[in-house]
Amino acid sequence: MNYSVIKYHDIANGTGVRTVLFVSGCTHHCKGCFQPQTWDFNYGEPFTEEVAWQIIDSLDDPFTEGLTLLGGEPMEPENQRALLPMIRKIKQLHPDKNIWCYSGYTYETDLAAPNGKAHCEVTDELLDSYDILVDGEFKLEEKDISLQFRGSRNQRILNMKELRH
């Protein structure tokens, strides 16, 4: 997996102050996407173990509330597999921090369903690790700049702790 950028102390993509990882690769190709360069799975830099540890260690900061996964599409199956080892480490070392994930896939049909188009062998573990999933493709005709944490009205902010436990 490649990534385009990591933001530290970000306040725009989830609650509180956060570390935000923008992964590369997205097959949705939404009209009006705010960063189409990230559709390419080869865009940006390789997501190495060292990079993963920089992210994990950034959560040592007491003012950082958690991590947000953005893209691109973090829930493309190949990206899920690349993210899982880091997410496992975060759950182990920083159980008090929360994890948000933005996905263009729809939770029930594409991710949670065993035959969903982005469901793979690691999807359930990832979904169980997230606190919040913001799901659904960006729809230009439903764009609303007044929405908090979402780009278009069709997208949902799902509390995964309530949905999955």
Q: Which stretch binds ligand SF4 (CB under 6 A): 28-36, 108-116, 127-135, 154-162?
A: 28-36
Residue whose entry in the numeric block shows the structure tokens 């182990």: 92
Q: Which stretch binds ligand SF4 (CB under 6 A): 1-9, 47-55, 66-74, 82-90?
A: 66-74
Q: Is 121 helix (H, G, I), strand (E, B) or coil?
A: coil
- Of residues 74 through 133, those in contact with ligand SF4 by CB under 6 A are 104
Which tokens go with 118?
Answer: 């982005």
Pairing of strands 2-10, 17-23: antiparallel
Supply the minimum distance, in Å, between the C-beta of residue 61 and ligand SF4.
Answer: 27
Out of 30, 51, 113, 120, name the contact with ligand SF4 by CB under 6 A: 30
CB 77 within 8 A of CB 84: no
Choice between 66 and 136, CB closer to ligand SF4: 136
CB 44 within 8 A of CB 5: yes
Q: Give me the amino acid identity at 165.
A: H
Q: In whole angstroms, what separates CA 160 from the centre of its chain?
A: 13
CA distance 79 to 87: 12
Q: Which stretch binds ligand SF4 (CB under 6 A): 9-17, 29-37, 45-53, 121-129?
A: 29-37
Supply the minimum distance, in Å, between the C-beta of residue 60 and ligand SF4.
Answer: 29
Is residue 29 involved in binding ligand SF4 (CB under 6 A)? yes
- Of residues 132 through 151, those in contact with ligand SF4 by CB under 6 A are 137-138
